[in-house]
Structure 1
Amino acid sequence: MSGLSETERVGFTKILELMTKGDLLSLSDTVTNKMIAVENVTEARKTILSFTKNAEELLRRKKVQRDIIFKYLAGEGVRMSPSSEKHQLVKRTLELWSSVKCGVDESPRGDMVKTTDMKVGFDPLVLGQQFCQWFFQIWNSQNPSLGQQPQDWGPQHFWPNVKLHLFSRVSSEHMEEFLGAELVSLRLLALTKEEHLLFSPNLDSDGLKALTSPHGLVPVAVAGTIHRDAACLGIFEQIFGLIRSPEYNSWKIKFIKLKIRGQDTLGGIEVAAPDLSNNSSELQLLCS
C-alpha cells in the first residue's frame, strides 16, 4: 500500500506525466524490484504510486531528473533559480506538499480567489500571494511542454472591459494593447500555449507588492523569470488590478500591465530572483 498522502499522489502524478516512457518503465522496475511487469505508461504510473512508501525517496531517484522537478515547480507557480541543484528542488517540492493550502477556493464556475478574506484587517499582500499562486499555476498549465492537463483558463476570470498593456524588449521594443476579456485572455494564452513560455514569479517580499484602496481596487505587482524548457529567457514584471465581483463573491482582473525583458537587454542583472522596480507610490497611483 502506498505511503503517500493525497497531496503527494497528486504532485507525483504531474511529475510522472513529464517523464519519458523509458524512464517510467525503468523507475517502475526499481520501485518494485522488478517483481511486477508493466506494459505501458499508465500501468507504470499506477504501480510507482502504489509501491512508493516515501515521497522524498522517490523524488531522489535518478530517473526523476532535476529538470523535471524544476519544470513541475514552475508549473505550480513556484519560483526557483534556474541554477538550483536537485536536492534544493526536492526540498522545495516537499515543502510545497507539506504546506497547508492557503484559503483559496475555486467556485463551481472556476472563478479565481474567493472573497473569504475581505474582513476587518484585510491584508492585500496575502491576497496578492494567493492570487499569484492561483494565476501562474493555471496560466503555466496551458504550456504543452509541461505535459499537464490544462486548467480552467478563459475570459471568465476577467472583467468584460479588462485592459492589457504588453511591453516587450527583446531584440527591439514592442508595445501592444488589448481591450476586452476575450482578447486579453487569448493574448495571454498565446504566450504559454503557443510560445511555450513559463512564467516563474518571485513571491518573496522583494518580488511581490500589493496595496488596497477605498474604491476596492487591489493592485498586485510581481516580478519573476521567464523560461522555455530548461533555458532562462529573461525577466518580467506584471501588475494586476483586482476588483471583487459581488455577484460571484470572487476577485476578477480589471487590468494587466506586463513588461518582458529578454536576457540580452539586462546588462548583467541577476535574473535568478528579480526584484520589483515598481515602488509603493507608483502602485498607489493606480488606486487613485
Structure 2
Amino acid sequence: MNVLITGGTGLLGRALAKSLLADGNKVWVLTRTPERASLPLGCVAVGWDGRTAQGWSPLVNDMDAVVNLAGVNTASWPWTEKRKQSFWNSRVWAGQAVAEAIRLAKKRPAVLVQMSGIGHYGFRGDTAVESTPPADDFSARLTVAWELSSQPVEELGVRRAVVRTAPVLSRDNIILKLMELPMRLFVGGRLGAGRQTFPWIHIADEIRAIRFLLTEERARGPFNLIAPEATSNAAFTRALAKQLKRPYWFHIPAFPMRLVLGEMGNLVLEGRPAHPQRLLELGFQFNHPTLESALRDLYQN
C-alpha cells in the first residue's frame, strides 16, 4: 500500500510511518523542511507549504491512502491569541489542501484518515460517544473546523474516517514528560480536585487503530481513539508515581495552575470522559485497555 502522511514528522507520524514500513508498505511524508526531516529509514520526504496543494498534488495519483495529521501541537504554552490562531490555521489550511489535492487527482486514494481530538466534546460530566454533539469552547470549535476542512472528499467518493484522539501515552510525549517531572522531584500528586477524567490511549493502540481504520471498509465518520477504561486524574497520577517508584502525596491546587497555564489549564483540570464505542463495535481490540497495562508496558518493557 502506498500511503501519504501529512504531519509525519511528529510523534504519531513517525510511529505510524515506522509501523507501515515494517509491513512492507511505502510511505511518503509531506513536510515544510524535507531537507531536515527526521524520518524512519525508507520514508520519502516531500516539501509542501502546509496550506496549499501546489507542487505536490500529483503525488496523490499514486496513493492508496492519505493520513492527515498536520497541526501545531496544542501542548505548546502559553495559549496566546497568536498561538491559538496558529493551532487553527495549521489544521484548517492543511485539511483544505489535502481535500484540494484529492479533488485534482486523476486517480484518487481509497481512504483518507483525518486527525481530530477528544476535545470535540468539551469538558463534561457524562461520557461522550461519537454521536455526542460538539461543545462550544475553543478546543471543541477547533476540532469541528479541523474535521470539516477535509470533508469535501466524501463527495468525491473517498472513504473518510475521522480520528478523535485522546492524549497519547508515549515516553516521548511532552505531556507525559511534564507529568513525570514533579514525580521525579518527589512532589507528585493529584492536580486540582483529582476527580476529573484523564483521557488517554497507549501509542501502540493509537497506531494500530489508525491502521485498522485505513483498511476496514466499514470505517466511515468519527471514531474516538481512547482507552475503554475511564481513569481519573488522581488514579492516573497515583499509578504513574507507582511506576516511577516515587511517593504520591502532594496536591497541586487548581488556582495556581489556572493562574500559570490560563485557558490551557482546562486540559488537565476539567474532565473529558469519552468511550470508543464505534471502534469497539467494528471489532477493534485494544492491546492496552487498562492504565496498569499501558504504564507497565511504557516503563517496564
TM over 0.5: same fold? no
Between structures 1 and 2, the one with greater helix share: 2
TM-score by length of 1: 0.30
The structure with the larger Rg is 1
Calculate the TM-score normalised by the size of structure 2: 0.29
